[in-house]
Amino acid sequence: MHALPRRTRPQVVLVGPPGSGKSAVGHALAELLGAGCVETDREVERLAGTPVSEVFVDLGEARFRELEREATMQVLARDGVVEIGGGAITDPAVRAVLHDHTVVFLDVGIVDAAKRIGFDQSSSMVALLPRRSWIRHMEARRPLYTEVATWTVDTAGRSVQDVADQVVELLQGGTA
């Protein structure tokens, strides 16, 4: 086990776009560190009493972002591994708080993200629209991810375990 000293705040916060591997890497990393893992999307669901997809559709993006900010602030007070939703980084208050934490930006390109998310069928018009949306969001958010990142780890073409091992190395004093 690679357990680091216990703290009253997260050992590491994972940020990145959908398909970067935040959930899978977060859980693998928590296991390596002997720590818990919490996802802000699960906290949003707890606060809203409904799945994230329904919050977004029924209450709108503005309300979702409010709940996401509240959930993020709550989970950043916990120990272990924290996974922040891909769009939370657009909130200036969230970015300001993240500067006080060890943050790893899990970077990924559209090819790998598409495979992980499932919109990699290039012949389908339905698949094309999410790809364009993902690219547009990533172009807008990349500077925000890098702004708060202590380290950036490229997840493209890599196994979950390989990425989690690299993050542990970084936490123990390695270099990116």
65 is an annotated ligand-binding site residue: yes
60-75 helix and 40-48 helix, angle to the nearest 10 degrees: 120
86 is an annotated ligand-binding site residue: yes
154 is an annotated ligand-binding site residue: no
- Which helix (H) or strand (E) covers residue 105, if one does? strand 103-107
Q: Give dist(CA 157, CA 160) in Å, integer.
A: 10
141 is an annotated ligand-binding site residue: yes
159 is an annotated ligand-binding site residue: no
| Sequence-distant (≥ 6) Cβ neighbours of residue 44 within 8 angstroms | 52, 55, 64, 67, 68, 71, 85
3 is an annotated ligand-binding site residue: no
Token pair listed for 141: 């958010």
Q: Give dist(CA 171, CA 110) in Å, integer.
A: 27
Residue 115 β-bridge partners:
none
107 is an annotated ligand-binding site residue: no
157 is an annotated ligand-binding site residue: no
Per-residue exposure over 153-173, b if at least 16 CB sit within 10 Å of its own CB, e if not:
bbbeebebeebbbbbbebbee
16 is an annotated ligand-binding site residue: no
Q: Edge to edge, what strands does the sheet with 80-83 contain?
A: 37-39, 80-83, 10-15, 103-107, 151-154
85 is an annotated ligand-binding site residue: no
19 is an annotated ligand-binding site residue: yes
Q: Which residues are annotated as a binding site for substrate?
A: 41, 65, 86, 141
Annotated binding site for Mg(2+): 23
Q: Which residues are annotated as a binding site?
A: 19-24, 41, 65, 86, 141, 158
Q: Known binding site for ATP: residues?
A: 19-24, 158
